[in-house]
Amino acid sequence: MVRRMVSCNAASRAIFGGIALAIAVSTAAHAEPLSLGDALFGHPDDSRRAAPPPVARYVAETGSSFVFDRSSNHGLLKFEDSPEVWVLDPSIAPRGDIIYKNDLGEPMLRVTRLGGVTLFTPEQPMGAAVALSGESIPLSLTMISPIEMIRRIRIAAARSSRAAQRQIDIEFKADSDSAALIADAAMVFSDAVVRIAQRVDGHKLLSGFGKISIAPAKKPSVKLEKTVLEIRVAPQMGLAGRPSSERIAYAVGAR
């Protein structure tokens, strides 16, 4: 255990009308409600649906590019200009679209049944159109050594300190199973600090805590307890086992 700081006659019309009615009734009788699985992966009888790659790179009309991985139960999204991987929960929307939300319940992506994608960001809250660029490789959490974990945490602490313009120390408890997620959580924390520091009230918010504590737990969480920011991670959940930078920012009042 390591411990550190998207034209007929009437009769003919009657006959055809009856046939059409029979077809409509038959179709309605056999229609099934759309399940989340069908919406995500396609119904076996839905041969008309376009199927984008499960892991692909996209480019938004704003110029932002990202990789979207929906090869597992969660959607994973990573912008190419950021190290953070966002873990998104899918839910069915009207017309069978899928909305992917972050851990604060905020929509980040909308995917139609035909594969169209819309990206939502603070700068584009109404959504920006997205184009498929090509296939990509899956996003995952790679195991690291204790030494590499400590190196990444030190980098995260230094980055946070520069943004906050004060010394920020990160305390942690970790073992070989939690090392990668602990280091990832520290990096995500530093992303939150950098974003908060850009606000008018950023430095005031960042002065609300004096210590950061990252440790394993049964489920991910983050809370500000007096002057200690407690970040808890669940290694058995993989990338879904740690709070996002948005959730961390929320915890310190940056909303």
**Residue 234 near residue 218, CB atoms below 8 Å:** yes
Global pTM? 0.79
What is the reported pLDDT for 5?
52
What is the reported pLDDT for 52?
80
Burial class of residue 34, CB neighbours in 10 A (0-12, 13-18, 19+) = middle
Backbone angles phi, psi at 150, to 5 degrees: -60, -40
Average pLDDT rounded to a whole number, residues 217-232: 96
pLDDT digits (tens, 9 = 90+) for 13-60: 443 344 343 333 333 334 344 444 454 444 444 445 557 889 999 999
pLDDT of 90 above 70:
yes
pLDDT of 231 above 80:
yes
25: which 2 tokens? 């009734």
Vertex 186 angle, CA 180 and 191, to 5°: 125
What is the reported pLDDT for 235?
96
Domain ranges of the chain: 40-135, 146-251
Residue scoring higher pLDDT (41 or 75): 75
d(CA 218, CA 221): 9
